[in-house]
Amino acid sequence: MFVLHHGWRSSASRRVRLCLAEKGLKFESILVDLAKMEHHRPEYLKLNPNGVIPLLILPDGRSLYESGTICEYLDETYPEPPLRPGDAYGRAEMRNWIRYTDERIGNLIIFNWRHSIAKVAANMTDAQLAEAMKKIPSKERQQAWLRAARQPYTPEEEDEARAKLTMMLDRMEGALGEHAWLVGDRYSLADIGIVPFVKRMSEEIIPDELSDEKHPKVAEWWRRIQARPAFKEARIESFTSTL
Ligand SMILES: N[C@@H](CCC(=O)N[C@@H](CS)C(=O)NCC(=O)O)C(=O)O
């Protein structure tokens, strides 16, 4: 049995749950409370030195982190239904999509953390914050925690993030003008990788951009995605619901 350390609202965790659901693989769920910094505890960092979720423990006891890598591993190990293109070029394109979305996670943090992490971080004393910083392994995430605690994002930064997220939709619109899914005619890990981003954009960030008027191909893709049984199974639910 797989054991997944995750969060219901975490985008990277959502990718892995989507992949597991497509494959019909069950898992034991271990929820990691980010606001309590459970992902920075020494025992967790031993298994995922990056100090983020998700983390997947395989049935043989070995562990894996990085959502894109986990999904590729699952597809290689449980090939049905296939979630990667059948040819090397297609798989390379798929990896570029995953990398592209990975690099844009910061634009989601600006909107996501205010719902949980920022509330806790803002109440930390300077001494508590300094202590917390020592446990966060990456400079980039230390910076994000500091921003959450002491320097909320400005409206200008939010607008900039919205513009970058809209550019992702523009790029998707181009790809979907050529074929049914982001890479060719097969639903793949490229699509799965971006689903959590689009979910958040559709809720409170830039919902209008998901309309048939603004991005018709993406809007149609989004309807097809939401109709997949795995979407429900993976519980890609409203971010602000009380999960
Ligand atoms: N590249 C990583 C990103 C993981 C990631 O950013 N996870 C977020 C939740 S979606 C997290 O753990 N954030 C808490 C933190 O940075 O302190 C992956 O795809 O697994």
Digit-by-digit pLDDT tens for the chain (243 residues) are 999 999 999 999 999 999 999 999 999 999 999 999 999 999 999 999 999 999 999 999 999 999 999 999 999 999 999 999 999 999 999 999 999 999 999 999 999 999 989 999 999 999 999 999 999 999 999 999 999 999 999 999 999 999 999 999 999 999 999 999 999 999 999 999 999 999 999 999 999 999 999 999 999 999 999 999 999 999 999 988 755
pLDDT of residue 243: 54
Fold of the CATH domain 2-77: Glutaredoxin (3.40.30)
| 34's tokens | 């980010």
Pocket of ligand 1 (CB under 6 A): 10-12, 34, 39, 52-54, 66-68, 102, 105, 141
Ligand 1 atom 10: residue of nearest CA: 10
Give the residue whose CA is nearest to atom 2 of ligand 1. Answer: 66
Paired tokens of 156: 């200008």
Instruction: Return the CATH architecture of domain 88-231.
Output: Up-down Bundle (1.20)
Residue among 53, 67, 115 whose CB has most ligand 1 atoms within 8 A, to mutate: 53
Q: What is the pTM of this model?
A: 0.97
Of all protein residues, whose CA lies closest to atom 6 belonging to ligand 1?
A: 52
Atom of ligand 1 nearest to the CA of 145: 17
Query: Are 144 and 106 a contacting pair, CB within 8 Å?
Result: yes
With beta carbons less than 8 A apart as the criterion, state whether 19 and 74 touch: yes
Give CATH 1.20.1050.10 domain extents, the chain: 88-231
The pLDDT, as a whole number, for residue 241 is 78
* Separation in Å, CA 41 to CA 89, 159, 220, 231, 233: 40, 34, 42, 31, 29
What is the CB neighbour count within 10 angstroms for residue 56?
27
CA 193 / ligand 1 centre spacing (Å): 13
pLDDT in the model for residue 240: 83
